[in-house]
Amino acid sequence: MQRYARRNYENNYLCPSPREGSFNASILQKVREIFETRHETYQVIDLYHDGFDPVFHANELKEFSQGTSPNELVNKYQKIIQETDELIFIFPIWWYSVPVVLKGFLDKILLKGFSYTETKYGMRGHLDTINSVTIITTGQSPKWYIRLFKGDGIKGTLINGTLKSVGMKRIRWIHEGYITSSSRSKKEAFRLSRTDMYRKRDTK
């Protein structure tokens, strides 16, 4: 269903895993094959397999203002985030925004103190060690329509409002629209073109 991925030249990470058999899953699989061919290590965070709950519960909200969480998965994911310099998100767009499981993931992981500090001048992001982020999305609506007429939930909210606010840099968004009506060959061309950029990366 959805996926978030991240890679470090020594440790590559692919996160929220999409539904098995989906087009997004095939993109993840292709990226994994490239990493393995290049003998690069990587980790897949599968929120569904882990049983991640995107809903805030009373015990979590009690600690939220302190920037802590009683959720062991949250602490595990935060440690992973701290150890990378590149992230890759791969997910379908639902109602012109991110799927709820990814929204909940970001809400619970990007806590005060961990991802940012509040100053008198505003937020100061702490995740500036993540110097490259790639967001690959799919959906029926084309990118221009999402940006101009449906609130710009990816560029405006996810990228500018969230990821940049916590210090992440060099963020690019790649989108494939008309996904339900695209031919198999067009989907394959998109999948190959978007994963080849990792095949061509310098591993230094």
> What are the tens digits of pLDDT across the range 93-150?
999 999 999 999 999 999 999 999 999 999 999 999 998 898 999 999 999 999 999 9
pLDDT of amino acid 26: 86
190 falls in which pLDDT band (50, 70, 90)?
low
User: Is residue 204, in this structure, part of any structural domain at all?
Assistant: no
User: Is residue 164, in this structure, part of any structural domain at all?
Assistant: yes
If one counts the domains in the chain, the total is 1
Distances (CA, A) of 73 to 25, 40, 53, 195: 22, 25, 9, 29
Question: Given a cut of 90, is residue 173 above it in pLDDT?
Answer: yes
- Is the Cβ–Cβ distance between 85 and 130 less than 8 Å? yes
> What are the tens digits of pLDDT across the range 5-46?
555 544 556 666 567 778 888 888 888 888 888 887 788 888
E strands, 96-199, where? 116-119, 122-125, 132-138, 171-176
Q: Is 170 exposed, middle or buried (0-12, 13-18, 19+ CB in 10 A)?
A: exposed
User: Is residue 36, in this structure, part of any structural domain at all?
Assistant: yes
- Distance from C-alpha of 135 to C-alpha of 174, rounded to nearest angstrom: 6
User: Is residue 125, in this structure, part of any structural domain at all?
Assistant: yes
**Structural domain for 19, as ranges:** 3-199
User: Is residue 22, in this structure, part of any structural domain at all?
Assistant: yes
Question: Given a cut of 90, is residue 67 above it in pLDDT?
Answer: yes
DSSP H or E stretch at residue 90:
strand 86-92
Structure tokens at 5: 């991925």
User: Is residue 40, in this structure, part of any structural domain at all?
Assistant: yes
CA angle 106, 111, 114 (to 5 degrees): 115
What does DSSP say about strands 3-7 and 86-92: parallel, antiparallel, or unpaired?
Answer: antiparallel
CB contact set of 95 (below 8 Å; sequence gap of 6+): none
CATH of the domain at 161: 3.40.50.360
User: Is residue 133, in this structure, part of any structural domain at all?
Assistant: yes
Using a pLDDT cut of 70, give the percent of the chain over it: 80
DSSP H or E stretch at residue 42:
strand 41-44
The pTM (predicted TM-score) of the whole model is 0.85
pLDDT of amino acid 47: 86
Average pLDDT of the chain is 85
> What are the tens digits of pLDDT across the range 82-106?
988 888 898 999 999 999 999 999 9
Using a pLDDT cut of 90, give the percent of the chain over it: 53
